[in-house]
Chains A and B, each alone.
Chain A
């Protein structure tokens, strides 16, 4: 599962403000996608999808895995 981050300010799929409405489709899509944006700083992350799991690296906030 996705690592729990302290401040989910940004949607990790679309990179927009996570507190705004309209992210239901992002949540559905995320069941079949890795995160693309850091939820803390909105930077695009370097994401490697593997046959089992994925890793995502934010240059500022480090690596998360799922």
Chain B
């Protein structure tokens, strides 16, 4: 057994204290023959500190495309020659999407907009949309609307948005290679305001943007410092027309190593499978991740791409005897 896994068994599994950056790097550098042991330990940590339940979420794009920012992975930036056109979702369709999500057993519904930050039109749409969902659907509403002002944070709390997603996307040292139209620190400031407001903080990122393994460890450590309620873990799905459109996808074993490492860095967080898992891990890898530290999934489709059918994930959870977290457990 590698020394880092012995250390993690005592420190993370035993005491609930996450690995630091050096420890995460050691896990990310484990040779393939030790990957099963790392995944098993990460699974044990998840079971001890989070339990067997899996949080299921659906997401929908309220405002697609036409974003003024230049996040190099994103097909919704208006600065790239992506085929994604700008489109808004109307309120009845938003409510219907929430109903579809609730039917899967999901307890979370996240409303997402491709913007730098919300303007008055978007905040009005959110206020009406959240109210309409709460009137008709039994589900928790989360939001992801870019960078916020304090007034907008307060408005979202007032609407009853219980969790706010704002991904740091990658580590601080690599961020300028991925986004030039705003800074990592600006994102951090929004996260600070969200945390102080009492909303749950959802913050993760994307692996495979060209970062080094050392920068992946740096990112895990920076997320651990933030201590988000939830960490969505995406794997780059290279999008045509974006600056990262020709990058290779993350190798499956590297993705699994990252899942284990991020779990060992953050033993108590909700670690969610998000975009890109279908092409990075496939069906078999998806199962391995759920047995290696993941305890939440986005089911159904993503914002501009499609996921595998929700029933495929729900059947897998049933097979793995991992109960879907009930709504009552989230309130």
What residues of chain B have their CB less than 8 Å away from a CB belonging to chain A? 58-61, 64, 83-87, 89, 93, 96-97, 100-101, 104, 240, 278-279, 299-307, 310
Contact = CB atoms under 8 A, between A and B. Distances in A.
A47 interface: yes
A47 to B, nearest CB: 7
Contacts of A32: 278-279, 305-307
Contacts of B279: 32
A53 B307 CA distance: 10
Given A49-B306, A51-B299, 4 more contacts: A32-B306, A36-B83, A50-B60, A51-B104
A52 interface: yes
Contacts of A51: 58-60, 97, 100-101, 104, 299-301, 310
A49 B83 contact: no
A52 B64 contact: no
A44 B87 CA distance: 12
A45 to B, nearest CB: 7
A39 interface: no
Interface of A: 14-15, 31-34, 36-37, 44-54
Nearest to A35: B83
B92 to A, nearest CB: 12
A45 B303 contact: no
Given A49-B302, A49-B304, A51-B97, A44 B85 contact: yes
A36 B60 CA distance: 18
Contact of A34 (B60, B89, B100, B306): B306
A52 B278 CA distance: 16
A47 B102 CA distance: 23
Given A32-B305, A51-B300, A52-B300, A46 B87 contact: yes
Contacts of A53: 301
B17 to A, nearest CB: 37
Nearest to A34: B306
A59 to B, nearest CB: 10
28 contacts: A14-B240, A32-B278, A32-B279, A32-B307, A33-B306, A34-B304, A34-B305, A36-B83, A36-B84, A46-B86, A47-B64, A47-B85, A48-B64, A48-B87, A48-B89, A48-B93, A49-B60, A49-B61, A49-B64, A49-B301, A49-B302, A51-B58, A51-B60, A51-B101, A51-B300, A52-B100, A52-B301, A54-B306
Nearest to B304: A49
Contact of A50 (B83, B85, B100, B305): B100
